[in-house]
Chain A
Amino acid sequence: MSTQASGAPPAPAIASKGSALRRSLSALGPFLGLALVIAVFAILSDDPARFLSLANLRTVCAQTVIVALGAIGMTIIIVSGGIDLSVGSVVALASVVTATVLRAHGSPWLALFAGVAVGGLVGFANGLAITTLRVVPFIATLGMLGVARGIAKWVADQQTVNVSPTWLNELAVTIPGRSWMFVAPGVWIAILLALMAALVLRNSVFGRRVFALGSNEAAALACGIHTDRLKICVYSIGGALFGLAGVMQMSRLRQGDPTVAIGVELDVIAAVVIGGGSLSGGEGSILGSMIGALIMAFLRNGCQLMGWPNYIQEIMIGAIIVVAVALDRFRAARLTA
């Protein structure tokens, strides 16, 4: 028995190359989906040049900004094993707060900060409810969906808050004031934040612990990670990003509107899920979520250009969410088999 001890134990047969290839293939999934959507509309369209034109691309980008910013925050939350249903209300609240501050003080910077901060505060409150009151995220943020919407209407006195034009209104326009930018500044902000978030999730201690939390909370706790603090952080960061989306909303409409963005959370969650995020946590990527947001934006845009009615868009987007997730599960099952 002791003579055996010095020899190496039988190596578990682990084929690495094949699975790495398969994994990168599965990461390509959302890209293929996007290419498919664009190709289908290009073929169906009477005027493919218009659908594929840079001007149309610019429109799609501007339309995606709000959902894309929300999807960055939602990706972090979903990877941590959580969910946030209050996105739409937070967007409305932040748009109202931004407009109110802008009207009262005239400082776009202060207004921008206020919008982001109020979103962060709502996220912080969500985190507190989830960790200290032990309410599951679904319920805690469902409650916040009502609370934040109510506060938005209260702050705005049930009216829209109109503002005089500043550079804040230029953030999410379709055609930017400075033509060298090509797309609106808000699009560049979203791209920059997406890159940062991707880097943080992949390479920072915080990001890896968010993955650990979503993958196996008990294990994270057993390894000495303060899971409650981590969750509060995750929801606060998510909230701040939803707040920024609210600033963009204000910028697009040129007013703060407490009734805007109803149901945006569903688009945002759909973007994350189409991009490979798993609602049971531990899985998801910023890149995937951005592609997911683009897929939905191109679908909407394509339907509009085709002159299809609104209800067709709704049916198609609903079906695509289910098909995307089913394909993903099918792939995952083949991977593990």
Chain B
Amino acid sequence: MSILQLSGITKRFGPTVALNGVDLEVFPGEVHALVGENGAGKSTLMNILSGALKPDAGTMKFRENAYRPSHPLDAGRQGIVHIHQELSLCPHLSVAENILLGIEPQRRGWVDRAAMRRKAAGTLETFHHPAIRPERRVAELPLAARQIVEICRALARSASLILMDEPTSSLQRADVESLFLFIRKLRESGISVIYISHFLEEVRQIADRFTVLRDGASVAHGKLNDATDEEIITAMVGRPVDRLFPQRRSKPASECVLQVRGLASLPVLRDASFELHRGEVLGIGGLIGSGRTEMIRSLFGVLPASSGEVTVRGRSVAATRLTPQRCIGNGIGYLSEDRRAEGLALNLSIADNTTLTRLGPLSRWGWINLARQAERAAAWIAKLNIKARGAATKAAQLSGGNQQKVAIARLLHQDAEIYLLDEPARGVDVGSKAQIYEVIRNLADAGKAVLMVSSDLPELFGICDRLAVMHRGTLSPVRPVSEWTPRSALQAAVAGESLDPQPRSGLPA
């Protein structure tokens, strides 16, 4: 008899279908793993379960009753609580106050401190966490302990189903063990957990059964003991590859323009080494949060590196001394994955945005030649087919795809030799995607070097010459694309390099 039963859940956002007929069944006292690639619809499903979104179609039953939460509080009252990836605790308050926030034991408006401490300690003790003392301020607790506090808050509201979205993504190995013990305690007391994770090894340790989501549909489910890693990974991939990608024309030259040795930016990025050659596109795969973005950011000096050595066109520098100014001076260009926060000045015009990094050729004695600037911007608008009224249009008024093209135009205007691109085609329409791919390919063919991070496997296989995969902060060896398969790349991303017998044991603590 199941505690939660979903059938045919469908959710659309405008023209995009986020969920397309999801079935899910969870039993009392089980840990149910929900696995799938980035963008498969896991987060949307969690938001529907926690009452933040309403499904367009499908039925939900929770404890034998129809379940239609009107908002997250309502879901909580019925017994379903969502533990978010970013914790929602009040750092200035004590552990007990956080656990009982909103349901404080009180006497005529005054907090009953003794009862509060007793209740909080009771919840913590039931689940063997006496080390977290109720009167401690949450700001003083380590991250792992905060997560336990947040789960205890759910328990204090007598939750019977807890949704955990990648709870281990920010935890150290020892803390993961401690969290797992805690989850097993929950299971023993009859509480169900839906556990989202990319890591198959982790899922095998903690979960009883699993459901695989792919492209918004549930494509496989069963007991973990009855399924092999192969079967689960096969269910996770298998997306059709579109004809989006341009022909590779260039033969990568042997000249190495960027050599990276032992780059680390703790705690996320642990070890990355590779060589980038003139005329090639080098792809970096891996999951979100695996350290790909940290690698590219520390290469550009935006994120401080903790160690490593970088050789740019024959000149060697300690990675800790990289700064964006120095990188630009060395002919390196960077495209951030977060174009709204970091990539573009949204309130400025296309002309300002495209020419910001290199105003030299457009100015004399510190005065910008506005006509020349507009002319240059107009040229980029035409070249990249940016849909805008003119160079004076503000970046904020453009669609996501066109904004991304403006960000790329700026990079082209900078006229760098080495391009570091973080998710250059994410969140843009298919037409813009194809154009962006073509720009990237043309750069390589013109003898530039491109390093590109992407979550999209077909994209990596479509335009890269060589590929490496990041897993938990460690970069795999670089190999030609022909030596990878989508399956081996995904395997490397979720479980580490298959050649490595114990992928996590070798990491520094």
- Contact between chains at B106 and A205 (CB < 8 Å): yes
Category for how many chain B residues contact A: 35 or more
Instruction: Kindly state the separation between the CA atoms of A14 and B102 in the bound complex, as whole angstroms.
Output: 27
Expressed in whole angstroms, the minimum distance between the Cβ of A136 and any Cβ of chain B is 18
Instruction: Kindly state the separation between the CA atoms of A12 and B142 in the bound complex, as whole angstroms.
Output: 8
**At the interface, yes or no: A215 with Cβ under 8 Å from chain B?**
yes
**At the interface, yes or no: B313 with Cβ under 8 Å from chain A?**
no
Cβ-closest chain B residue relative to A206: B109
- Contact between chains at A9 and B136 (CB < 8 Å): no
Query: Which B residues lie within 8 Å of A5 (CB)?
Result: 181, 184-185, 188
Q: Which residues 190-218 in A have Cβ within 8 Å of B in the complex?
A: 203-206, 208-209, 211-212, 214-216, 218
- Contact between chains at B89 and A14 (CB < 8 Å): no
Expressed in whole angstroms, the minimum distance between the Cβ of A225 and any Cβ of chain B is 5
Instruction: Kindly state the separation between the CA atoms of A10 and B109 in the bound complex, as whole angstroms.
Output: 38
Instruction: Kindly state the separation between the CA atoms of A44 and B79 in the bound complex, as whole angstroms.
Output: 67
- Contact between chains at B93 and A4 (CB < 8 Å): no
Task: Name the segment of B126-134, B272-280, B420-428, B453-461 touching the other chain.
Answer: B126-134
- Contact between chains at A19 and B184 (CB < 8 Å): no
Expressed in whole angstroms, the minimum distance between the Cβ of A286 and any Cβ of chain B is 16
Query: Which B residues lie within 8 Å of A8 (CB)?
Result: 128, 130
- Contact between chains at A216 and B89 (CB < 8 Å): yes
- Contact between chains at A224 and B103 (CB < 8 Å): yes
Instruction: Kindly state the separation between the CA atoms of A12 and B337 in the bound complex, as whole angstroms.
Output: 35
Q: Which residues 1-27 in A have Cβ within 8 Å of B in the complex?
A: 1-2, 4-5, 7-12, 14, 16, 19
Query: Which A residues lie within 8 Å of B181 (CB)?
Result: 4-5, 7, 9
Expressed in whole angstroms, the minimum distance between the Cβ of B185 and any Cβ of chain A is 7
Expressed in whole angstroms, the minimum distance between the Cβ of B193 and any Cβ of chain A is 15
Expressed in whole angstroms, the minimum distance between the Cβ of B138 and any Cβ of chain A is 9
Cβ-closest chain B residue relative to A5: B184
Number of A-B contacts (CB under 8 A): 100
Instruction: Kindly state the separation between the CA atoms of A8 and B125 in the bound complex, as whole angstroms.
Output: 10
- Contact between chains at B101 and A12 (CB < 8 Å): no
Assuming the contacts A222-B88, A224-B76, asked whether A16 and B111 have C-beta atoms less than 8 A apart, the reply is no
- Contact between chains at B182 and A9 (CB < 8 Å): yes
Query: Which A residues lie within 8 Å of B90 (CB)?
Result: 211-212, 215-216, 219-220, 282
Assuming the contacts A4-B181, A203-B111, A211-B93, asked whether A223 and B131 have C-beta atoms less than 8 A apart, the reply is no
**At the interface, yes or no: A228 with Cβ under 8 Å from chain B?**
no
Assuming the contacts A9-B178, A9-B181, A204-B110, asked whether A223 and B89 have C-beta atoms less than 8 A apart, the reply is no
**At the interface, yes or no: B72 with Cβ under 8 Å from chain A?**
yes
Query: Which B residues lie within 8 Å of A218 (CB)?
Result: 88
Instruction: Kindly state the separation between the CA atoms of A336 and B88 in the bound complex, as whole angstroms.
Output: 19
Query: Which A residues lie within 8 Å of B251 (CB)?
Result: none
Contact bitstring A32-49, B, C-beta under 8 A = 1, else 0: 000000000000000000
Instruction: Choose from A1, A19, A205, A282 the contact partner of B91 (Cβ within 8 Å).
Output: A282
Assuming the contacts A204-B111, A223-B153, asked whether A10 and B174 have C-beta atoms less than 8 A apart, the reply is yes
Query: Which A residues lie within 8 Å of B415 (CB)?
Result: none
Instruction: Choose from B104, B128, B174 the contact partner of A208 (Cβ within 8 Å).
Output: B104
Query: Which B residues lie within 8 Å of A14 (CB)?
Result: 131-133, 136, 140-141, 145
Expressed in whole angstroms, the minimum distance between the Cβ of B108 and any Cβ of chain A is 9
Instruction: Choose from B98, B131, B141, B184 the contact partner of A11 (Cβ within 8 Å).
Output: B131
Instruction: Choose from A4, A204, A212, A283 the contact partner of B101 (Cβ within 8 Å).
Output: A212
User: Which of A9, A212, A220, A336 has its CB near the most chain B CB atoms (within 10 A)?
Assistant: A9
29 residue pairs of the A-B complex, CB under 8 angstroms, read: A4-B181, A5-B188, A9-B128, A9-B182, A10-B177, A12-B142, A12-B144, A14-B133, A204-B109, A205-B104, A205-B109, A205-B110, A211-B90, A211-B93, A212-B93, A215-B90, A215-B92, A216-B90, A216-B91, A220-B90, A220-B101, A223-B101, A223-B103, A223-B153, A224-B76, A224-B103, A282-B90, A282-B92, A283-B92
3 smallest beta-carbon distances between A and B, as pairs: A11-B131, A223-B102, A215-B90
Query: Which residues of A line the B interface, CB within 8 A?
Result: 1-2, 4-5, 7-12, 14, 16, 19, 203-206, 208-209, 211-212, 214-216, 218-220, 222-225, 282-283, 336
Contacts A203-B113, A222-B73 aside, 13 further interface pairs with beta carbons under 8 A come to: A5-B184, A5-B185, A9-B177, A9-B178, A10-B174, A14-B140, A16-B133, A211-B93, A216-B91, A219-B88, A223-B103, A223-B153, A225-B101
